[in-house]
Amino acid sequence: MIHYTILPDEVIYEGLDEHEPRFRDVEISGILMQVEAVDESRVRIVRLYSPEPKHYLNPLFTPGSLINYVPGPQGI
């Protein structure tokens, strides 16, 4: 990707190293997926691991979607 700007790199990439995503593989509604915790009760879908094409067509499980999820005893 090429990004043309007059801003210095320090301004563009400021804070990039501070964000450490917390990814976890979970199974929701029978679909194995990777999620990132947003807060205590919601996660953002990062990717699906399912071999079923119909799972990718379900708008509820589109990567980037926020869904309610209460983690098990292991936490997220």
Residue-wise DSSP of 19-71: ----EEEEEETTEEEEEEE-SSSEEEEEEE--S-HHHHH-GGG-TT-EEE---
Q: Is the pLDDT of residue 76 over 60?
A: no
Q: How confident is the model at residue 34 (pLDDT cuts 50, 70, 90)?
A: very high
Q: Is the pLDDT of residue 46 over 90?
A: yes
Q: Is the pLDDT of residue 15 over 90?
A: no
Q: Is the pLDDT of residue 51 over 80?
A: yes
Predicted TM-score of the model (pTM): 0.66
